[in-house]
């Protein structure tokens, strides 16, 4: 089976398992803080994906949220970047609005991206250079908008007394409105489908953006960090994903005037 078709079927199969496992008792643990949750289902889904990939493609590398491949720095060959449940808080509290996110890279370059909205049974997927799809529907290129008439995705926690809030608050004030969905992968595909004009976050792990970024690229969206650098899958970063016009506005009018503040912030991400 072709690698793209294999990855697509694997993500769907993982979603089927996830729906079954979520009916069982959840074991919930905290990670970096009380709101950073992981469940036995997160771990089971990741282990399922890892076992299937390694048995089929033992030479492939895997970077997974729940502990696999965090020391990967060289990207020769094929690398899978997987988040078994992006939006674990939503999974625990809502039993909805979460996704399986998978990005596949060849020699560090995007090959295929998958974001599976499990409870909606909606798979967003793309092979680099061949367009992006919502299930079997080809996605149209996203249209440019202006910020004043745009909805922006941003977690309100970043605006509440955070050091970065003076940079971010004016963007929200100058937009039409803001939304927070609680799953970075879903918010990125909402940009790819035009439901959001942009999604902005000061810190995001590679497994959160890897799959969605590839889908976004295929519809003409732009993904960079706050100082305009490309996103890399070997370290966390700040993220702006947007249609081209709104991305240019956010970067040039709000981020670059704060470059002296933001540049040292970003150096810390690679340590």
Binding site per annotation, positions for Mg(2+)? 65, 83, 85-86, 208
Contact 186, 117 (CB under 8 A): yes
- Please give the annotated binding residues, written as ranges: 65, 83, 85-86, 208
Count of CB atoms situated within 10 Å of the CB of 223: 21
d(CA 164, CA 178): 17
d(CA 133, CA 189): 10
d(CA 43, CA 76): 26
DSSP string, 176-201: SEEE--S-HHHHHHHHHTTS-SEEEE
The burial class, CB within 10 Å (0-12 / 13-18 / 19+), for 122 is middle
Contact 157, 151 (CB under 8 A): no
Count of CB atoms situated within 10 Å of the CB of 123: 20
Count of CB atoms situated within 10 Å of the CB of 270: 10
Strand-pair partners of 224:
240
How many residues would you count in the chain? 271
């Amino acid at each position: 089976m072709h690698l793209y078709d294999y990855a697509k079927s694997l993500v769907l199969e993982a979603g089927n398992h996830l729906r079954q496992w979520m009916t069982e008792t959840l074991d919930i643990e905290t990670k970096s803080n009380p709101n950073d949750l992981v469940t036995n289902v997160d771990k089971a889904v990741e282990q399922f994906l890892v076992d299937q990939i390694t048995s089929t493609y033992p030479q492939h590398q895997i970077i997974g949220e729940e502990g696999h491949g965090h020391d990967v720095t060289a990207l020769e060959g094929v690398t899978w970047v997987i988040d078994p449940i992006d939006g674990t808080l939503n999974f625990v509290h809502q039993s909805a609005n979460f996704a399986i996110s998978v990005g596949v890279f060849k020699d560090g370059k995007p090959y295929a991206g998958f974001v599976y909205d499990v409870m909606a049974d909606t798979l967003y997927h793309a092979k680099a250079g061949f367009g992006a799809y919502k299930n079997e529907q080809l996605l149209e290129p996203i249209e440019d908008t202006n910020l004043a008439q745009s909805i922006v995705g941003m977690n309100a926690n970043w605006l509440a007394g955070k050091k970065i809030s003076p940079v971010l608050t004016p963007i929200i004030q100058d937009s039409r409105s803001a939304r927070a969905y609680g799953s970075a992968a879903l918010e990125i595909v909402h940009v790819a489908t035009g439901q959001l004009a942009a999604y902005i976050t000061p810190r995001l792990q590679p497994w959160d953006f890897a799959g969605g970024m590839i889908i976004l690229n295929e519809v003409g969206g732009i993904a960079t960090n706050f100082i305009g650098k490309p996103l890399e899958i070997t370290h966390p970063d700040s993220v702006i994903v947007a249609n081209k016009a709104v991305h240019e506005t956010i970067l040039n009018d709000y981020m670059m005037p704060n470059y002296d503040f933001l540049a040292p912030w970003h150096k810390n991400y690679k340590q």
